[in-house]
Structure 1
Amino acid sequence: MKKQIQHEIQPDWWSKSFAGWILGLSLSVALASFITMWGVNHLDKSLAPQVGMWSVPWLYLPLVFIAYFIPKGWQAVLIYSVFNCIAYGILLGIRG
């Protein structure tokens, strides 16, 4: 039982890097926009953009980290693209 049934992490760094660094950044900006929109209603008007702006690195770095643990690069790109489409679709639907 040395080798359990596991999927080996593939070394396709270019696609995983693209998913994490580029698509992760756009997803973190969309999520920070949600935080800013929430902050406008619940925080001081001048504080809400700052909270949204400073939340980007806290969201961005874990997204980059997670991208390298997805088994295949094309899966990482697909997952991050779908999450981006959902996030921006909801964001545009809310903002009008």
Structure 2
Amino acid sequence: MRDRASDQNDDWNQQWVPFASDLGLNVLVLDHGTNPGRVLLVDGVDGLHGHRTWPSLTDLTDQVSEALLASTVLNGHQPVVEDKRLRWSDAN
């Protein structure tokens, strides 16, 4: 995933560690650079989505946990568990 993002986007930072992606080019990365510990959403085409960040991995997992337990929307998506797998459907 890193190669695809860096080929199409000059914003890729070598100090980002990717740890999750969707079926498209969106990648969650853990920043080990200018903001160590922050979680960023990076699109392989459009680059960094600065408005969709979390101060830490703990903050992200806490928000995901709360959304799952309360069945609430997180960043415009509703958590759904089917066949023991988590997926996020559009909340619209």
> TM-score normalized by structure 2?
0.30
> Relative contact order, CA 8 A, sep 6+: which one is greater?
1
TM-score by length of 1: 0.29
Structure (1/2) with the larger strand percentage: 2
